[in-house]
Structure 1
Amino acid sequence: MMESPPIITFVVNIIFYIILGVLVILWLLSIVFRRYRAYQYSVNNRQAVVPSPTIIPFPPITTNYDLPPGLETSVIDTFPKFFYSVRPDQDIGVNSATMKMTGECAVCLGVFEDDETLRLLPKCGHVFHADCIDTWLRMHATCPFCRAVLLPENHQSGERPARVEVVINVNDGTGR
Structure 2
Amino acid sequence: MSRAFTKEQDDAPIDVAERPISPHRNLVTPEGLRQIESEIAALQEELRKASDEKTDDEDDSGAIARIARDLRYWTTRRETAEISVPDPKSDVVRFGMTVTIENDEEGKVQTWKIVGEDEADAAHGKISHVSPVAVALFGRSVGDVISVNDKEWEITAIG
Same fold (TM over 0.5): no
Which structure carries more strand by proportion? Answer: 2
Greater radius of gyration (CA): 1
Scaled by the length of structure 2, what TM-score is found?
0.25
Q: TM-score, normalised by structure 1?
A: 0.23
Q: Which has the higher helix share?
A: 2
